[in-house]
Copies of this chain bind each other. A is one copy, B any other.
Amino acid sequence: MQIGLVVGTVVSTKKEEDLRGLRFLLVRELDQDMRQTGKLVVAVDAVGSGEGEVVLYASGSSARQTAATKDRPVDTVIMAIVDEIEVGGDRRFVKV
């Protein structure tokens, strides 16, 4: 999994039938110091996350292992909202 920041949304009306009702979010990968790295991905939201939140996302076939995404053509899913990140005893992030 990667840590990411939800930065936006993608809207699509013409899409594979199975995708109806899913929310597509733009997510930018974060490093351990909460800096945005260059990688950008579109992920399906499975936990009610929204813009500005720090999340965990999973890729590949693992992205289809949530209730929302089972058997659907999606390769990235937000499966957790991050409360806290700790590195070497230091809190690097605390959700407010």
Chain A interface category by residue count:
35 or more
In the complex, residue of chain B having the shortest beta-carbon distance to the beta carbon of A8:
B87
Q: Are B85 and A26 in contact (CB under 8 A)?
A: yes
Pair A1/B24 contact, Cβ less than 8 Å: yes
Interface string of A30-48 (1 = CB under 8 A from B): 0110000000111100111
Q: Is the CB of B73 within 8 A of A79?
A: yes
Q: B42, B75, B81: which contacts A12 (Cβ < 8 A)?
A: B81
Residues of B within 8 A of A1 (CB): 24, 41-43, 74-76
CB of A21 within 8 Å of the partner chain: no
Not counting A63-B73, A65-B71, a sample of 13 additional A-B residue pairs whose C-beta atoms are within 8 angstroms of each other reads A1-B41, A1-B75, A7-B87, A8-B87, A11-B82, A14-B47, A15-B56, A18-B66, A31-B40, A60-B61, A61-B61, A62-B63, A63-B75
